[in-house]
Amino acid sequence: MRPGDRLTGLRTRHARELVEETLADTPITVIQGARQVGKSTLAREVVVGRDATVLSLDAAAAYGAARADPDAFVRQTDGLLVIDEVQRVPELVRAMKDAVEEDRRPGRFLVTGSADLLHIPGTEESLAGRAETVVLYGLSQGELAGHREDFVDRLLAGDERALSARVGTLSREEYLEAVCAGSFPEPLTRVGRRRSAWFDNYVKRITTRDAQSLSRLAHLDRLPDLLRLLAANTSGELVKARIAKDAGIPETSLPGYLDLLETLYLIQVLPAWGDNLTKRVTGRPKVALLDTGLAARLNHVTPAAMAPGAVSDAAGGLFESFVSGELRRQLVWAQTPARLFHFRDRDGREVDIVIESDGRRVAGVEMKAAGSVSQRDFKGLALLRDKLNDRFAMGVVLYTGRQPLPFGDRLWALPYSALWS
């Protein structure tokens, strides 16, 4: 595959529609996400044809003006003001709040941020009732292919007919290529050591410049080691004592570092789901890197290193992180509001990802890094189905084979590409 080939089908970001809807009825629209996921590009695409002023706080002049007089900065135009990387001047949050108090017209501000504004020192104003946040993650597989995914909606609707028609389109090796490429636009245009260099420089910049500007934690120099440890255990349950010890961070301080990585949109936390099914449910969350390309690089693994019989056993965790990342992206534009969890009890019964809608419908997703599936792979899903009865929509085991296969009432084995095909 030539560099850039995976971007040829890209037409638009699926979150664009939600951003435009928000601008139509909300004074402040916030696009948040990790650095280099395409926030600035999306903001500029949305404002084409609008009366808009676009300023980036990465530019020295704009940054200086915003710091000197935040109130004047946010009032410089009667049209839409677009502020890129707003987290660099937290005082602008208060200034926007005051401006909106005077004039609550929809579409006054469109701001982007490479960190969660609710967790940045200096942004004590919550903007509740005045702002709506759209989280932009890396490119989904559907965005790369040029079409909008509906897997989450179909799964929670129990649409077996639609999902069982999705025959696999990729081999195991091609899936691993997608996993190791990740979702950031820039490294998708690169291969080999040039892609590796991008990830290395990205980690260095985020853990030095960005983290230092957002946090006063005592051991920020150990953040790269913590990120590598989480990558090595990606999609594993969080054992705080072990991670803290290996990273050289006091266990009592570890939550602050995890919060920082989550604020920077580098990791995703999957809470434990219980729903009173059994008193033996474990309560530890799972933690995974949001981008599997970054996780693979931090693990120093390639598709070849994860081939059958190879030395690395990283494929299982990376496949699980890949799927949870794809589902999290789809939840931004899905018609069915839902949240992601994981399930495991002390008897060893588990489901990698539990999706629960706001209407309390539940679906389960298991992952295998192999091309075959057996009945025992459905043990956890069958438990959920039998305990939840009509609340259980559907359970699937995703695998690297090509054929959709039924395994009982509302249980299916599906190829990974069913997520986006």
- pLDDT of 282 higher than 80: no
- Per this entry, what is the length of the chain? 421
Quick: pLDDT tens for 79-138: 999 999 999 998 999 999 999 999 999 999 999 999 887 776 655 566 778 999 999 999
* Pair of tokens at residue 323: 């799927």
The per-residue pLDDT for 122 is 57
| CATH 3.40.50.300 domain span(s) along the chain | 5-135
CATH code linked to domain 5-135: 3.40.50.300
**Residues paired with 288 in a beta bridge:** 268
pLDDT of res. 3 = 40
Question: Which positions ≥6 away from 151 have C-beta within 8 Å?
Answer: 163, 326, 327, 330, 418, 419, 420
Q: What is the pLDDT of residues 41-68, one digit of tens each?
A: 999 999 999 999 999 999 999 999 999 9
Res 225 pLDDT > 60? yes
Cα distance between residue 135 and residue 31, in whole Å: 6
Q: Find out whether 146 and 11 touch, Cβ atoms under 8 Å.
A: yes
Residue 336 and residue 365 in contact, taking contact as beta carbons nearer than 8 Å: no
Q: Nearest Cα to 109, choosing from 77, 137, 140? A: 77
CA distances, 39 to each of 31, 44, 139, 164, 318 (Å) = 7, 9, 11, 35, 25
- State how far the Cα of 23 lies from the Cα of 46, in Å rounded to an integer: 10
Q: Which two tokens stand for residue 265?
A: 């949109």
